[in-house]
Amino acid sequence: MNFATAQFSIFFAIVFFLYWHLRKKHQNLLLLGASMAFYSFWDWRFLSLIVISIVSNYYGGQWIAEATTKTKRNIWLILCIAINISLLAYFKYANFFIESTLALAAEFNWHVSEVTLNITLPVGISFYIFQSLSYSLDIYRGKLTPQHGLLDFATFVAFFPQLVAGPIVRAKEFLFQLEAERIFKFQQLENGITRFLTGLFKKVVIADSLAVYLVDPVFSNPDAYSSGTLWLAMFGYAIQIYADFSGYSNMAIGCALMLGFKIPENFNYPYLATNFSSFWQRWHMTMSRFFRDYVYIPMGGNRRSSSRNMINLATTTLVSGLWHGAAWTFVCWGGLHGVYIVASHIISDFSKKARFQSFLHLLPAWFFTQIFVCFAWVLFRSQDLPSAQRYLTNLFISDNSGPLSIEVSWYIALCFIAVVIDHLYGFLKEKNYMVSSSIQKYFKPAFIAALVIIIFNGRPEQASPFIYFQF
């Protein structure tokens, strides 16, 4: 069930009305039932996967906490990880590894019978498995005590606003909210509606418009378009994926607020970043901190030598690339960001020794960071590596570019301008250059009214699915 549909609006209105007329225990039961119904609209057959993840991590967490020896604790943790990663590996990566193995065999002229598994990727599997698995991992690390109620834990894992595309919420951030009494507050409702409408605007106006009128036509046939159009579409995709994913996150946060919950922010104006580490601290922040806490730090983090730290950083981004999808384009995208981060660390160390640090270096640092981030987005968006190679080559070699071009309409220009304003607001917010709360209070109704008008009159007829639903 897509957030940007009338069907979801009706569904949420019914849940909202019933929810605020129930007591806490029955509220949680309603949320669990609504979440399972919400996921059933995608494909009811895969509800069993959510149940397996819930049960394995709930009881696994208890057994880890009750284990009397380190060996037993390790065994229970390994079992939890094995169950969850096996589900993820089969449904998300089985075809990828089979196809890669067959391609490698063909390179060496080995005759291997072709094998194809017709596996449907369950929507949101990467998100809810990582979310439930973090519960067992945090208990093992001593960061959390076991949850005593299966109902509350199941509601935490299956909570429908962020079930299929995050943010990835930690148990310690959410379970205590399920245990507390929730009181309806009009201010939370107002803030939730504002966040939801802001996310809806980003998705259906900015992201979908750029997809339909610019990005999809160019990326589907990059050889047919001029270099200038390829550059425009590359920047367009950078804005599209930001508006699409941060729009979903805003809608999820807004829905949670309307139900009395606070879930973590997922984006912090990533295109303000002046280095690649900063970009990852601003982009899909809940995923970044997951890999930081459960991959980077266990490998040694920055506690080892400088060279080992570089390897840890590169490995973490490589794994995050593979998490995004079962394709070499995602692996290379993650690996490329690993190269970026390692190179930026080396350059940063050199500039500090040479005393090149100054305010003047921030503008070129920002420029080159964002340009190289956009180059990597070409890998992320392309169907395969040869397509990405052709696209990147045609950016610089005009002889290889096609004769077609896409005129920059006022509508496309407004999509770009909207994200610039969004990030300008973020810049002023970070610098504490904000208008008074009283002015914002009077401005908010006009802002909401404008959002509603633009959403219903400015959205393209052809809607695109959320990009991160495929992960």
Active site (catalytic) residues: 324
The residue type of 450 is A
Interatomic CA distance for residues 240 and 350, integer angstroms = 35
The pairs formed by 397-403 with CB atoms below 8 angstroms and a separation of 24 or more are: 397/227, 398/226, 398/227, 400/223, 401/223, 401/225, 401/226, 401/227, 401/230, 402/221, 402/223, 402/224, 402/225, 402/226, 403/224, 403/226
Rg (CA), the chain: 23
Q: Over the range 135-152, which residues count as b (16 or more CB within 10 Å of their CB) and which as e?
A: bbbbbbeeebebbeeeeb
Amino acid at 446: A
CA dist., res. 261 & res. 266, Å (int): 15
Residues near 106 by Cβ (< 8 Å), separated by ≥ 6? 112
DSSP per-residue codes, 200-237: HIIIIIIIHHHIIIIIHHHHH-GGGB-HHHHHHHHHHH
Which DSSP category does 305 fall into?
Answer: -
Q: What is residue 293's three-state secondary structure?
A: helix
- Answer for the pair 134, 170: CB distance below 8 angstroms, yes or no: yes
414: which 2 tokens?
A: 């407004």
Cis ω for the linkage preceding 167 (within 30 of 0): yes
**Residue with the two structure tokens 């409408």:** 197
How far is Cα 204 from Cα 196, in angstroms, rounded to an integer?
A: 12
